[in-house]
Chains A and B, each alone.
Chain A
Amino acid sequence: MTDLRRRLRVGMVCPYSFDVPGGVQNHVLGLARYLRQVGHRPYVLAPGELRSSTPALDLEDFSSVGAAVPVPYNGSVARVNFGPLSAARVRRWLRNGKFDLIHIHEPVTPSISLLALWAAEQPVVATFHTATPRSRSMQLAGGVLRAAIEKIDAGIAVSESARNVVVQHLGRDAVVIPNGIRFDDFARRRPAMRADPFDELRTTLDEARRSTDSGHSAGSPPEPPQRPRLIFIGRLDEPRKGLDVLLAAIPLIRQARPDVEVIVAGQGRRALPSWCCNLGPITEEAKIALLNSADVFVAPQLARESFGIVLLEAMACGVQLVASDLPSFVDLLGAPQDKERRGDVFGVGDHRALARAVLEALERPDPLQAARAQQAAKAYDWSSVGMAVLAVYRAALSTAPSTLAADGEV
């Protein structure tokens, strides 16, 4: 049996490229960073490139399976890898890495995750990020997929809704461990901060805007803090992120508060009204500054948010929160009747309810509610989330039947 206290070589497989920002990618890097901090050695296999070494990962510990191919999947365009060449690269990485354990993210995406699961002979931990039922493709893929899923020694789901999908559609079970955040990075907002530091913020935002292509920054630059500021962060061109709901609500909000300022940030091109300031894709630093400058953070997502990491980051900043009542958001913020709730929710897709909730938050800001949100977000810091993941690693290492000879199906 493997000695559980020694330095572990963990091979992590991320099906999405680090060239584009995303929840799964951030999770992988955050976990890698935590593992390094506590003395383990993470390696990452992903499509695309890692441009430079990060605190989470040295360049030499990153392996690429080559450029990903854009394919429509899971309601958005996923950039994935498949085919014999990718499969061979995955196998070579698994063979040369001498890993104690493989940690596969999104194991049932038709990409390197599934290829790695198929080929792995080490103990396998798998994290399920999405809450998307895929029963039909499960049925079609049949035995092949089921045999791969059987190889998972310990499953992790990022939320109860993600776990439900695992139980109902994959016939397995998973330990619920939420996504982690670096709490201290986000929780910079102090009461004094509202008074002045907007010069710093504006510089960051300007830099962020310059670094993106100038074409799609429309509207006026961020104004001084007297104007109430609404923030949306998420893909702009993906309907399920719900930007349309927010845009439909803004005229209603502007009737009561004509001075309201709307800032959106995220990947994707789309035409926006002139009163809407579009920052485009922004860096992590700019995101933190932006969230800390917000009066109200709006999360109008329509569906399939299994966790809501940006909402959690906004919680850590201690801003007022207005979100659609998706189960995972209600888990984070609390039900509308809950006196101890950490934010306000509205019916999915209901722009009138969104406008009402935003106006309510602007008229009667509730610092206690925001403080509760911040306090709740603290439980999701990597120091505690990472420890729970390590507990699952230990479980997988001591229970995996990996001493068996190489399996016949590989």
Chain B
Amino acid sequence: MNTVEILAVIIIVGVVLVWRISWLATRVHRATTRAERTWSVLDAALFGRAQRAAELVMMRSIDPATALLVLDAAVATLDPDLCQGERELTESDLSHVLDAVDPMLPARPSELDMERARASMYRRLHNDAVSTALALRRRHTVRIFRLARRSVEPRPFEMAEGTFCTLTACPPDSPEGSTSPLTTVMVREAEN
């Protein structure tokens, strides 16, 4: 091989490498962006859940002890200064409290169930997005070329979700009390 051929080979290999790396950078960026957005959506859904839980207090004929328990747990999750670990704990506590008071409630709070199901769905999507992003960010090429350096590493959100009806099980138009098919579709989350 003469010099020109060697040069050509080097250039081709270089171009392919650069293309591969920029492609990988796009994928890392896309996965990380998605994980950031799923977090903000999950955050909003958890806020919605706490709000609905706090609204239980306004139910007619709820006793003051139950009301205080729920309100306390709901308000605890809303503190803006919580770090993620503390937030996970307070959200789990809220799930436990909601499960504990559920049999005492005068009526089935279907809107709260909806919010819990929604938060559960968003949490699954978020943790899925996070694991996709992490799998990419831990690749050797990504580390060596520091393709993820400009973004914060996403973290999965772990919490106990408790027991509630899934999205498919309680459509808003279904009459209350028609709960017999729920045996198959109740979600019972193992406690972490």
Residues of A within 8 A of B (CB): 147, 150-151, 153-155, 171-178, 331-332, 334, 340, 372, 375-380, 383-385, 387-388, 391-392, 395, 398-401, 404, 407-409
Contacts and interface: CB of A to CB of B under 8 A. Distances in A.
B26 interface: yes
A380 B22 contact: no
Interface in B139-192: 166-171, 173-174, 180-185
Contacts of B34: 153, 399-401
Given A173-B127, A384-B170, 8 more contacts: A150-B31, A177-B167, A178-B168, A377-B181, A379-B184, A384-B171, A388-B168, A401-B30
A62 to B, nearest CB: 27
Contacts of A392: 121
Interface of B: 19, 22-23, 26-27, 29-31, 33-34, 37-38, 41, 118, 121-122, 124-125, 127-129, 131-132, 135-136, 166-171, 173-174, 180-185
Given A380-B168, A391-B118, A401-B30, A408 B131 contact: no
A398 B37 contact: yes
Contacts of B121: 175, 391-392, 395
A148 to B, nearest CB: 11
Q: Which one of A331, A379, A400 has the greatest number of beta carbons of chain B within 10 Å? A: A379
A376 B125 contact: no
Given A391-B118, A401-B34, A409 B168 contact: no
B154 to A, nearest CB: 12
A173 B134 CA distance: 14
Given A376-B181, A404-B26, A408-B22, A177 B125 contact: no
Contact of A408 (B26, B37, B168, B181): B26
19 contacts: A150-B30, A154-B125, A172-B128, A172-B132, A174-B124, A175-B125, A176-B166, A340-B183, A375-B181, A377-B181, A378-B181, A379-B184, A383-B173, A388-B167, A392-B121, A399-B37, A400-B34, A404-B33, A408-B19
A377 B168 CA distance: 12
Given A154-B125, A399-B41, A407-B26, A379 B33 contact: no
B33 to A, nearest CB: 4
Given A147-B27, A175-B121, A175-B125, A387 B180 contact: no
A383 B169 CA distance: 11
B121 to A, nearest CB: 5
A269 B169 CA distance: 39
Given A175-B121, A175-B124, A407-B30, A383 B171 contact: yes
A399 B129 contact: yes
Q: Which 3 A-B pairs have the closest CB atoms?
A: A401-B33, A173-B128, A384-B171
A379 B181 contact: yes
A171 B135 contact: yes
B152 to A, nearest CB: 15
A372 B131 contact: no
A385 B30 CA distance: 30
A162 to B, nearest CB: 14
A387 B171 contact: yes
A383 B173 CA distance: 9
Contacts of A154: 125
A409 B25 CA distance: 11
A409 to B, nearest CB: 5
Q: Which one of A151, A154, A174, A378 has the greatest number of beta carbons of chain B within 10 Å? A: A154
A375 B37 contact: no
B112 to A, nearest CB: 16
B131 A332 contact: no
A308 to B, nearest CB: 13
Contacts of B129: 399
B125 A331 contact: no
A385 B168 contact: yes
A384 B125 CA distance: 20
Nearest to B19: A408
B165 to A, nearest CB: 10
Contacts of A174: 124, 128
A375 B180 contact: yes
B33 A387 contact: no
Given A147-B27, A407-B30, A379 B169 contact: yes
Nearest to B118: A391
Nearest to A407: B26
A118 to B, nearest CB: 13
Contact of B38 (A176, A399, A407): A399
Q: Which one of A150, A174, A375, A392 has the greatest number of beta carbons of chain B within 10 Å? A: A150
A409 B125 contact: no
A384 B168 contact: yes
Contact of B167 (A378, A391, A409): A391
Contacts of A385: 168
B48 to A, nearest CB: 13
A221 to B, nearest CB: 37
A331 B124 contact: no
Contacts of B170: 384
Contact of B131 (A171, A378, A380, A384): A171
A18 to B, nearest CB: 25
A408 B28 CA distance: 12
B131 to A, nearest CB: 7
Q: Which one of A147, A174, A408 has the greatest number of beta carbons of chain B within 10 Å? A: A408
